[in-house]
């Protein structure tokens, strides 16, 4: 039996081969010599023969945090800064996601910082803490500002079986402002206030007393805190000028601010999923707009009030009428 082949070899003329070869060489030359701004998706320049750019080629001569100068001429300080900057500027996936998320929360969080007279640079402390998401740490810190449970309670963030206001993006920002202002009042330095956010005011004060120095850059601190401020600085300069470092995230790819209306809740809601349906929502959407909700119920004590965010133009499909004597459901496991 003879098998017929329907595949015929393709023969290219010598001229065609030469044209293709020239095109490949030209493309390669362009990719090799083009400036970083012409290379889509490449943070900084590609790692060419000259290697990655050094810190001095990227950063301002006199970096500062909240207007407080960073003594970059100190070689130990410079090396710490260099390490954090390089680790983050080349972390393309993380920086790209941060740029996407930051678009949603930058304006309202900066407005709160301004209201509380806290410098705008602290926005990048939030970035360093959580990468602009409701993260949970192994130690139990929660939310955009990574409050530990007791610290959150100390600064007015309600936490129980039904709600955790550490996950409320704006309430937690106000709580962070109060913490930072308290630390600034204690230390007289925003840099030290940032350090205390990481290791606690007691840890900073003990280091000052034990070592006999006052300034952040003179203190010998644990590794996490000694790196912390420089990580914040790295995010500050990268995110303020992302295009300079090769990051181009168009507005259409950034996460836009939530359009929502606020509904005051002064009586208990025994079934949030059922209540959400009367508002034209599913429970998933309700929780997305209100990530501080932890349960299917929302008990409200006498004189207490919560504010739920609902999609601005979501149609209402019904009316939820709570029982006349609505009592909180039992605690889980109770």
**pLDDT tens column, 230-273:** 999 999 999 999 998 899 999 999 999 999 999 999 999 999 99
Three-state SS at 307: strand
The DSSP call for residue 51 is: -
* Burial class (CB within 10 angstroms; exposed 0-12, middle 13-18, buried 19+) of 146: buried
Share of the chain above pLDDT 70, in %: 78
- CA dist 52 → 56, 75, 89, 139 (Å): 12, 20, 11, 35
Ranking 52-66, 73-87, 127-141, 193-207 by mean pLDDT, the lowest is 52-66
| pLDDT computed for residue 89 by the predictor | 92
Mean pLDDT, rounded, of the chain: 85
Rounded Cα gap, residues 45 and 39, in angstroms? 8
**Mean pLDDT of the region 181-191:** 98
In tens, the pLDDT along 77-119 reads 999 999 999 999 999 999 999 999 999 999 999 999 999 999 9
Rounded Cα gap, residues 204 and 181, in angstroms? 15
pLDDT greater than 70 at residue 2: no
CATH of span 59-253: 1.10.530.10
| pLDDT computed for residue 322 by the predictor | 52
Q: Per-residue confidence at 25, pLDDT binned at 50, 70, 90?
A: confident
**Mean pLDDT of the region 32-38:** 48
| pLDDT computed for residue 105 by the predictor | 97
Rounded Cα gap, residues 66 and 43, in angstroms? 26
Read off the pTM: 0.79
pLDDT greater at residue 15 or residue 316: 15
Share of the chain above pLDDT 90, in %: 74
Rounded Cα gap, residues 263 and 165, in angstroms? 17
Rounded Cα gap, residues 55 and 50, in angstroms? 14
- Strands (DSSP E) found in 18-136: 64-65, 68-69, 135-136
Q: How many residues does the chain have?
A: 334
Rounded Cα gap, residues 51 and 209, in angstroms? 44
């Amino acid at each position: 039996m003879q098998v017929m082949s329907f595949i015929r070899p393709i023969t290219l003329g010598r001229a065609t081969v030469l044209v293709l070869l020239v095109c490949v060489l030209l493309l390669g030359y362009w990719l090799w010599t083009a400036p970083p701004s012409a290379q889509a998706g490449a943070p900084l320049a590609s790692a060419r023969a000259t290697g990655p750019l050094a810190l001095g080629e990227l950063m301002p001569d006199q970096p500062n945090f909240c207007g407080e100068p960073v003594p970059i001429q100190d070689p130990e300080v410079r090396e710490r800064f260099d390490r954090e900057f390089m680790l983050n500027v080349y972390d393309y996936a993380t920086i790209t996601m941060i740029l996407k998320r930051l678009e949603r929360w930058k304006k309202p969080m900066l407005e709160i910082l301004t209201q509380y007279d806290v410098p705008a640079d602290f926005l990048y402390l939030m970035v360093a803490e959580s990468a602009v998401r409701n993260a949970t740490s192994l130690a139990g810190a929660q939310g955009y500002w990574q409050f530990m449970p007791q610290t959150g309670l100390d600064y007015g963030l309600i936490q129980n079986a039904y709600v955790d206001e550490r996950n409320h993006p704006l309430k937690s920002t106000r709580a962070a402002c109060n913490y930072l202002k308290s630390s600034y009042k204690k230390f007289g330095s925003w840099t030290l206030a940032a350090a205390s956010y990481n290791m606690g005011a007691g840890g900073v004060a003990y280091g000052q007393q034990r070592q006999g120095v006052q300034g952040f850059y003179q203190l010998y601190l644990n590794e996490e805190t000694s790196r912390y401020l420089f990580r914040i600085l790295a995010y500050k300069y990268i995110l303020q000028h992302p295009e300079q470092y090769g990051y181009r995230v168009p507005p259409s790819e950034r996460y836009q601010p939530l359009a929502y209306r606020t509904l005051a809740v002064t009586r208990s809601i025994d079934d949030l999923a059922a209540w959400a349906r009367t508002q034209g929502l599913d429970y998933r959407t309700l929780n997305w707009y209100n990530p501080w909700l932890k349960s299917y119920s929302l008990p409200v004590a006498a004189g207490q009030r919560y504010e739920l965010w609902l999609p601005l133009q979501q149609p209402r499909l019904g009316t939820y009428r709570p029982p006349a004597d609505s009592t909180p459901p039992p605690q889980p496991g109770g």
